[in-house]
Amino acid sequence: MRGARIIKNQICYPEKEIYEIKKLFDSRYNLYKDCYYHRVTQAYECLILDILKASQSLFDFVSAISDPKIYITLDDTILHDIRISTSKELEHARNLLKRFDSRKHYSFVGEKILNKAINVTE
């Protein structure tokens, strides 16, 4: 990467580094294909998302995402706080967290490609 230069608005690498650059992008592709987008990884991500949604009474994640000073302080200690909580409001989040801890992730039932024009946040 040290030899990389911007030439005519393009990132250019020395010819002798072509193999290393190709390996870098191949590794990145393989990680996405084999790990990051693996169906089990996706199932756990959905489970964590549901845990966070169910724990919004404990922490307002939406405002934290838009404030960089708060965002950089976020870590997984929220999961510990949910585990030790006795709040009735967090009971659903605790149950989901127990499911996560016991490796009972969501099952994959199907897949549907959404139109990009659809706003999925609503």
Q: Domain locations in the chain?
A: 16-101
What are 106's two structure tokens?
């969501």
Helices and strands of the chain, counted as H and E runs? 6, 2
Does the pLDDT of residue 68 top 70, yes or no? yes
pLDDT digits (tens, 9 = 90+) for 13-56: 888 888 998 999 999 999 998 888 888 898 999 999 999 899 98
Task: Give pLDDT, residue 118.
Answer: 61
> By the 8 A CB rule, do 16 and 2 touch?
no
